[in-house]
Amino acid sequence: MNLVVEFCQRVERRESVLGIVGLGYVGLPLALEFIESGFKVVGFDVDVAKVTALSEGRSYIHRIEAAEIVQARARGFRATAEIAELRECDAILICVPTPLKGNHEPDMSYVQATLDALAPHLRADQLVVLESTTWPGTTAEVVVPTIERLGSVKVLREGVEDRGVMVAFSPEREDPGNTTTPRREIPKVMGGFDTRATDAAAALYNAVFTRVVKMSSPAAAEMTKLLENIYRSVNIALVNELKQLCLTMGLDVWEIIDAAATKPFGFQAFYPGPGIGGHCIPVDPFYLTWRAEQFGKKTRFIELAGEVNEAMPAFVVETTREALAKRGVDLKTAKVLVLGVAYKRDLDDLRESPALTVIQLLEQAGAEVAYNDPFFAEVGHGRKYDLERLSTPLARVGEFDAVVLTTDHSAYDYPALVEASRLFVDTRGATRRLNSEKIVRC
């Protein structure tokens, strides 16, 4: 029987076993979607604590209830730290981090380590899909060669092998905090290394997602993901720059954006803040900048947007310094409370959060800094931060010389917080309808 036909029939009958590598903010929700659609799923993660939590029916992601994990386990989901167990899976989806190095170059260590460990256990007729955001060419230049170098089977190429591993790329399209659009309603872009991989991956994703968009190649799918995130990065940089100009001119940038958004065509609203966070927007544009340099091209527009966004935490700190000075307080001796350390409202996600940079810069300026966040009772050590402190109760707001709002969680009572504070620095427009001499907007 034809390889793809056999694969598609197993998918249709829900006989396929799915393996997901990386059980974080992308991998775990994806696993639950496939389980909900009738598939058995094996989840792999090198973090034994995550595997243990899932095996005990516990969740470590705020928006996923423990009951969902318990239900998934009852339907056949299991987590493991033994990657060899993925040999029994029909399809394996790789959802591991792709961060940046300190010099803005891609850090492919997580992807490479995954491939190195996985390749020896692959067998013919499996489908391997990389979902991690990366530079155009990764699938062809990293994934395929690693599988063939370390594995015992070939990767299917157009018109060459009859049996082998099918390889494709399909970027994750997570929108954390979005409670209105079901994940399965977000179209799934994907491109196979050959047409058989494309057809197999399309059949798999069609079983869960309402629409699958087939691309001509993995590189085209890889570039699509970067375009999506660069579009956001550039537009956020634009409104961040306009915010600074509007402040100088005495204008309310949020009022202006809201008014522009009433235009029914040609405009999409983006909003300013203390910087950009999350795994995608601060990272992905630099993947393309790095790749473009290998082709002798400069991405000046993308790089400028990155510079504007990365400068925003320093703008917040300088605004706080100036506001304190007007009140006779030196930032070097000030006590500052940062409200919200998550990168986005109502999320338990610290990845690339601009609040962490604000804290770092405030401390470098000599301030004594504390934080409050309803989603983080404590913050320890991470890839780009080392806080090691507990969340400060809001009852202590009045003890601080300045309160800096960096994440506008809906749980915050802004009128009460402004009333209790000595100085309230608002980077999110949360207090735009409040009138108080204590408020400084930036």
Fold for the domain defined by 250-279+311-441: Rossmann fold (3.40.50)
Catalytic residue of the set 8, 95, 246, 280: 280
Active site residue 280: yes
Give residue 1's pLDDT.
52
Domain boundaries, the chain: 3-219, 250-279+311-441
Asked, colleague to colleague, whether 3-219 and 250-279+311-441 share their fold, the answer is: yes
Tell me the pLDDT of the chain (442 aa) as tens digits.
588 899 999 999 999 999 999 999 999 999 999 999 999 999 999 999 999 999 999 999 988 999 999 999 999 999 999 999 999 999 999 999 999 998 889 999 999 999 999 999 999 999 999 999 999 999 999 999 999 999 899 999 987 767 899 999 999 998 877 888 888 999 999 999 999 999 999 999 999 999 999 999 999 999 999 999 999 999 999 999 999 999 999 999 999 999 999 999 999 999 999 999 988 888 989 999 999 999 999 999 999 999 999 999 999 999 999 999 999 999 999 999 999 999 999 999 999 999 999 999 999 999 999 999 999 999 987 777 788 899 999 999 999 999 999 999 999 999 999 999 999 999 999 999 999 999 999 9
Give residue 387's pLDDT.
86
Instruction: Give residue 135's identity as a one-letter amino acid code.
Output: W
Query: Which CATH class for the 3-219 domain?
Result: alpha beta
